[in-house]
Amino acid sequence: MTSASQSVRTQREVRHPEKTAFLSLSKALGRVAVYVVLIFLGVTWIFPLYWMASSALKDDPQVYTVPPVLIPNPAHWNNFADAWNRFDFNRAAFNSVFLYSLPVTLFTLISSMIVAYGFAKIRWRGRDALFWVCIATMMLPWQVTMVPLFIIFKNLGWINTYWPFVVPSLFGNAYFIFLLRQFFLTIPEELSDAARIDGASEMGILWRVILPLSKPAIAVVLLFRFLWAWNDYLGPLIYINSEAMQPLALAIYRMRTLALSMGNTAMAYPHLMAVSTLIALPIILMFIFAQRTFIEGISTTGLKG
Amino acid sequence: MTAIVTGWRNMSKTERRNQILGLLFVSPWLIGFLLFALFPLIASFYYSLTNYDFIREPRFIGLANYQRLFTVDPDFWIVMYNTLYYVGIGVPLGVAVAFLIANLLNSDIKGRTLFRSVIYIPSIVPAVCTAMVWLFILNVQYGVINGFLKTLGMATIPFLSSPDLAKPSLIMIYVWAQGTAVVIFLAALQDVPRSLYDAALVDGANLWQRFWNVTVPMCTPVILFNFIMGIITAFQDFTLPFVLTGGGPMKSTEFYVVNLYRNAFVQFSIGKASAMAWILFLIILFFSVVLFRTSARWVYYGGEK
Amino acid sequence: MNQNGISRRQFLQWSAVTTGALLVAACGPAAAPSTAPAAEQGAAPATAPNTVQYWYAWGNLDPALAKIVETDEFKEHMGGATLEYKGSTGQDVLLTAIAAGTPPDGGSNYSYVNLFTRGATIDVKDMVDASTVINKDDILEGVWNSAFYKGGMIGIPGIECYLWWGLNVNIETAEKAGLDASTLPKTWDEVLEWHKAMTIKDDAGNLLQFGLDPYDAMANEPDFISASYGFKWFDEETGKFDLANPRMAEGLNTLGEFIRIAGPDQFAGMRQVEGHGTWGAAFNAGVQNMIIEGYWHPGETQIQKPEVAQYNRASWAPVPADRKDANIMATGLHAVAIFKDAKNKEGAFKLGEFFQTPTALNIIFQEVGWIHGVKSWLETVDKNAYPGLSFYIDAGPQVTEWTIGRRCPINDFVITQYVELREQVYRNLIDPQAAAEELQKRAEAEWEAQGLG
């Protein structure tokens, strides 16, 4: 069943040659079974995403027909452009990237690194108690503080801006502080001590010694923070109320409202799927190109997508 | 903090310097914690004792919001039941399926990376996109699954339009998006020492016995971790029910945070919403305490020995 | 984590100190929300914006506004101010903006009474009295009256304020189903027969086509069922509810029968893809063939789907057999409401005024199919412009029972509860009378909770 047991079994076969024939048959059957199950699961798991992408290429008759069309022929590639232009998605993409995801990601990284350094590399009293509190805040659901935070930001006049996302990112994020702190602890103390003897400041050590050695952890922070911002729906739903300011996640929901509510349903479904595909694509590509970083990030800290 | 103050006089110069530097480095988080977590939490409690509605002045009404929620509110217990149903069935099912898939992936197969990617990607695609796709996969009239059922002359299944099936359908989608747990399990499985399987084989244990007596006990800490993190995050699921079913049919998918959002930002019942936020906080706190109490058994450090 | 040697006692000590300190710190700022908006208000007029922001929940008014802003009359009336309009903007978005203190200047198609009673919109009575454009005597009495709540004026009535209820039927489908479409059904029993005849399922029991969703469109609201069955569910003067009325239970049972015949799950599934509450989309698609809608239905259908609209006919909204002579009709308010925190109240008012002018009325009628109850203009309307419209234009004098719709400040809340409870009835999960009593109980509790009692 597991790779470990497979290799163990191989050793044993050598020791008991009389059983080899039977075992290799059952082993082969077992393997086939594993592949069959995995392929079935794989197809099931990927199907919704396939359906999203393939429906994006259909026209209305191909959508509303029984039996369902699995492979659209002809494929309507112009749907992507048509759907994107049906609404101001360029502006929404700009908002998503430049007003929300990028600044928040960058600021979270910088602030979390500084805090993590304070928790990992400087010895001071109360440090571990505070770190414990920091971890505890990871469990605090955002919805619990949603209303008072809204009132605070409202009084600051920050509604319909991205300040409610950007400003808190200047104060670090518990998940990433935790992740970076754990990583910093693996960097030998001798390196920073040596730098201290050379007269480096703590900030200098963080910048010149720790940072170059922490690239894997930094990559995890960048990827996940970007992902969360890109996917965020509830936050913008509450804070952003003008069409010009909305990010992609809101824009597509609004497109659905517009397309379905007033009987203006022509091409609504293929266009919705086309935009969904375009919004999901950067995330999927990001994963494909940075797979190792993703997997390591999750394996060490259990970061949710 | 008292320890810090009383200890100050006994510190050496370096210790004092480190004390200041340490606090300075973690101050972004500390300030952020006070501003964006602790203060809103307390403010939330204050609002929960008032009838604030964003427009009129808040008036203190004691525990009336809590009392109404528990006694006369038409939604609270429905919402609580829905959420407990979703969490109570979805999380154990999600953990079990993720664990089984991880075990399959951990066998000696080709294309593990591909399978892992296929299973993982759904958990990072924006929920607002997947919600739209599922709508058109599961819809009783136009969905692809029912399209095939119709082709075969079978009765359709009202996945999202029957109050009995809507929650199970959402649970199905929840399980589909458990790629994160699969990756965590896979990492844990790869850490199980081969010698244990070796020993089990010598004792003549079959596949099932090896799984049950070696794999499961070795992974218990991670199972527990995924279980509790699953509970905490499933309580907060918003986008999927909000976009997919909007709480219906017949309030069967009106989950806690969806209802909280509605009370706060649609009904303007800030007092009631704040009371709900505090109840949620206490529920999560309970599970967090369980998590911490058992932490010694599950905490997994990438670097620390 | 534990290796760091922090004991639980130390942790508790620390947290107690911090919490205490923060509690002290928090007491001051907690009062902040009440003071801050005042400061914002004070600062606002200084900028004197030359734009008017106007939001509305409709999705199909945009083309009309696009034409209106281009007219010389509009430009002149607005004195050069530009109109920033934003359609399909739901109540939730609006409320968030109100909460944030950044509402638009004017808004339409929201829960007017609710916003007004909470003080989110202003009383426009003085502005209307001073206006030379708005002529009270030229506006239908029911429409005019609907603009008032407890003496205050909710907004400037306009855009589309006309007759709200009629049974619209696709007579082509009716005839195909073997029905005599020269006389449209009037009682629920008759309508139910038509519904049965028009409902078609495939061999597998899937719904292909149906007659009437009795809870769709205008029939979605408690106003309708109560008027049809001849009782008043909410008394505006006393603030009392009469939802537990036995006739309510009777109505829930009868109307539920329509859905039981077609299949509750099939109905719910259709709604999920046809859009929120459908509002005619299913009628356009030929899936729903009878719909209880207002005067706008003929025009909207003509504009969106002329091939279906040609078969549209309208008649009186259904009533129970023992009330077969009752001709029920509703009217109610659509208005430009002006927000308390608006930056350009004057501009929003001017927009409301302009909606009374023939220029605006004609454009809206042509582009969207909507009518505002301005008597002098109504005489110029071609009642045969859209199939089915003539019923509404001629209906006025024959109406025996008028309802002014959406007068309850917690109308939205009651609708939500009504939607849930009626679904329990047609799914046979609750006795109709018990559902009616439960609805009464919930409405009273909410009324109390909102401090309206």
pLDDT at C313 over 90: yes
Q: Is C279 found in the same domain as C136?
A: no
Q: Is B216 found in the same domain as B259?
A: yes
Q: Which residue has the higher pLDDT, B273 or A295?
A: B273
pLDDT at B252 over 50: yes
Confidence grade of residue B14 (pLDDT, cut at 50, 70, 90): confident
- Three-class SS state of A209: helix
| pLDDT (0 to 100) of residue A11 | 45
Q: Which residue has the higher pLDDT, B173 or A88?
A: B173
- Chain A residues in contact with C60 (beta carbon < 8 A): 262, 264
Q: Is B28 found in the same domain as B79?
A: no
Strands C152-153 and C328-331, by their bridges, are unpaired
Q: Residue C68 — φ and ψ, nearest 5°? A: -60, -45
> What domain count does chain B have?
2
B-interface mutation test, from C114, C203, C273, most B Cβ less than 10 A away: C273
Q: Do C279 and A261 touch (CB under 8 A)?
A: yes
pLDDT at C349 over 90: yes
Q: Do A139 and B285 touch (CB under 8 A)?
A: yes
C202 located within any domain: yes
- Between CA A58 and CA A72 the distance in angstroms is 6
Q: Is C290 found in the same domain as C256?
A: yes
Q: Which residue has the higher pLDDT, C39 or A58?
A: A58
| pLDDT (0 to 100) of residue B147 | 87
In the DSSP assignment, the letter for residue A233 is -
Residues sharing a CB contact under 8 Å with residue C23, sequence separation 6 or more, in sequence order = B42
- A246: closest chain C residue by CA: C93
The average pLDDT across C159-168 equals: 93
In the DSSP assignment, the letter for residue A210 is I
C196 located within any domain: yes
B112 located within any domain: yes
Q: Is B204 found in the same domain as B89?
A: yes
- Chain B residues in contact with C118 (beta carbon < 8 A): 53, 55-56, 268
| pLDDT (0 to 100) of residue C55 | 95
pLDDT at A1 over 60: no
The average pLDDT across C282-310 equals: 88
Q: Residue A139 — φ and ψ, nearest 5°? A: -85, -10
- Answer yes or no: are the C-beta atoms of C169 and C314 closer than 8 Å: yes
| pLDDT (0 to 100) of residue C28 | 33
Cβ-Cβ contacts under 8 Å between A and B: the total is 335
**Average pLDDT over all residues of chain A:** 86
Q: Is C237 found in the same domain as C131?
A: no
**Domain span holding position C239:** 166-330+409-449
**Residue-wise pLDDT tens digits, B23-55:** 999 999 999 999 999 999 999 999 999 988 887
Nearest Cβ partner of A258 from C14, C15, C88? C88
Tell me the residues of A at the C interface, defined by beta carbons under 8 Å apart. Answer: 126-129, 131-133, 135, 150-151, 154-155, 157, 159-160, 238, 241-243, 254, 257-258, 260-265, 269
- B254: closest chain C residue by CA: C420
- Chain A residues in contact with B194 (beta carbon < 8 A): 4, 7-8
Q: Is C261 found in the same domain as C283?
A: yes
- B8: closest chain A residue by CA: A125
- Answer yes or no: are the C-beta atoms of C372 and C356 closer than 8 Å: yes
Could you say which residues from 97 to 116 on chain C have a Cβ atom under 8 Å away from some Cβ of chain B? 98-99
Q: Which residue has the higher pLDDT, B305 or B11?
A: B11
pLDDT at C27 over 50: no
Q: Is C174 found in the same domain as C156?
A: no
Q: Is C145 found in the same domain as C174?
A: no
Nearest Cβ partner of C265 from B135, B136, B158? B158
| pLDDT (0 to 100) of residue A3 | 42
- What is chain B written as a DSSP string? -HHHHHHGGG--HHHHHHHHHHHHHHHHHHHHHIIIIIHHHHHHHHHHTB---SSSPP-B-TTHHHHHHHTT-TTHHHHHHHHHHHHHHHHHHHHHHHHHHHHHHTSS-TTHHHHHHHHHGGGTS-HHHHHHHHHHHH-TTT-HHHHHHHHTTPPP--TTTSTTTHHHHHHHHHHHT-HHHHHHHHHHHHTS-HHHHHHHHHTT--HHHHIIIIIHHHHHHHHHHHHHHHHHHHTT--HHHHHHTTT-STTTT--HHHHHHIIIIIS--HHHHHHHHHHHHHHHHHHHHHHHHTHHHH---SS--
- What is B43-55 written as a DSSP string? HHHHHHTB---SS
Q: Is B14 found in the same domain as B132?
A: no
C401 located within any domain: no
B304 located within any domain: no
| pLDDT (0 to 100) of residue C21 | 38
Confidence grade of residue C29 (pLDDT, cut at 50, 70, 90): very low
Confidence grade of residue A16 (pLDDT, cut at 50, 70, 90): low
Of the ranges B71-85, C275-289, C340-354, which one carries the lowest mean pLDDT score? C275-289
Confidence grade of residue A22 (pLDDT, cut at 50, 70, 90): low
pLDDT at C342 over 90: yes
**Residue-wise pLDDT tens digits, A84-125:** 988 889 999 999 999 999 999 999 999 999 999 999 999 899
Confidence grade of residue C118 (pLDDT, cut at 50, 70, 90): confident
- Answer yes or no: are the C-beta atoms of C276 and C250 closer than 8 Å: no
B16 located within any domain: yes
Q: Is C308 found in the same domain as C242?
A: yes
> What domain count does chain C have?
2
Q: Is B293 found in the same domain as B221?
A: yes
| pLDDT (0 to 100) of residue C112 | 92
Q: Tokens 């990072």 map to which residue? A: B124
B35 located within any domain: yes
**Domain span holding position B198:** 73-298
| pLDDT (0 to 100) of residue B1 | 52
pLDDT at A258 over 80: no
C403 located within any domain: no
**Average pLDDT over all residues of chain B:** 87
B235 located within any domain: yes
Nearest Cβ partner of B107 from A1, A133, A146? A1
B176 located within any domain: yes
- Answer yes or no: are the C-beta atoms of A244 and A94 closer than 8 Å: no
- Chain B residues in contact with A130 (beta carbon < 8 A): 26, 30
B251: CATH: 1.10.3720.10
Torsion, CA A8, CA A10, CA A16, CA A19, rounded to 10: 110
What ipTM describes this predicted complex? 0.88
Strands C148-149 and C152-153, by their bridges, are antiparallel
| pLDDT (0 to 100) of residue B208 | 86
- Between CA B177 and CA B104 the distance in angstroms is 17
B140 touches chain C (CB under 8 A): yes
Could you say which residues from 148 to 187 on chain B have a Cβ atom under 8 Å away from some Cβ of chain C? 149-150, 153-156, 158, 160-163
Could you say which residues from 298 to 327 on chain C have a Cβ atom under 8 Å away from some Cβ of chain A? 300, 304-305
C-interface mutation test, from B267, B285, B289, most C Cβ less than 10 A away: B267
| pLDDT (0 to 100) of residue A303 | 67
C-interface mutation test, from A151, A153, A154, A181, most C Cβ less than 10 A away: A154
| pLDDT (0 to 100) of residue A2 | 40
| pLDDT (0 to 100) of residue C12 | 36
- C101: closest chain A residue by CA: A154
The average pLDDT across C154-178 equals: 94
Q: Is B136 found in the same domain as B253?
A: yes
Fill in the amino acid letter for C279: W
Q: Is C143 found in the same domain as C41?
A: yes
- C62: closest chain A residue by CA: A258
pLDDT at C31 over 80: no
Let me know if C98 is exposed, middle or buried by CB neighbors in 10 A (0-12, 13-18, 19+): buried
- Chain B residues in contact with C417 (beta carbon < 8 A): 74
CB atoms within 10 A of CB A133: 19
Q: Is B283 found in the same domain as B204?
A: yes
CATH number of A84-300: 1.10.3720.10
**Residue-wise pLDDT tens digits, B186-231:** 988 988 888 888 888 888 888 888 888 888 888 887 888 888 889 9
Fill in the amino acid letter for C26: A
B130 located within any domain: yes
Q: Is C201 found in the same domain as C189?
A: yes
- Please tell me the pTM assigned to this model: 0.82
Torsion, CA C85, CA C55, CA C343, CA C33, rounded to 10: -140
Residue % of chain C over a pLDDT of 90: 61
Which one, of C44, C46, C157, C54, lies nearest residue C103 by Cα? C54
Q: Is C307 found in the same domain as C246?
A: yes
pLDDT at C107 over 90: yes
Of the ranges A58-67, A158-167, C122-131, C404-413, which one carries the lowest mean pLDDT score? A58-67
The average pLDDT across A53-78 equals: 88
Chain A contact partners (≥3 CB pairs within 8 A): B, C
Distance from CA of C81 to the nearest CA of B (A): 29
C63: CATH: 3.40.190.10
Nearest Cβ partner of A148 from B40, B103, B115? B40
B64 located within any domain: no
- Chain B residues in contact with A111 (beta carbon < 8 A): 28-29, 32
pLDDT at C33 over 70: no
Q: Residue B97 — φ and ψ, nearest 5°? A: -65, -45
Q: Tokens 């527990």 map to which residue? A: B224
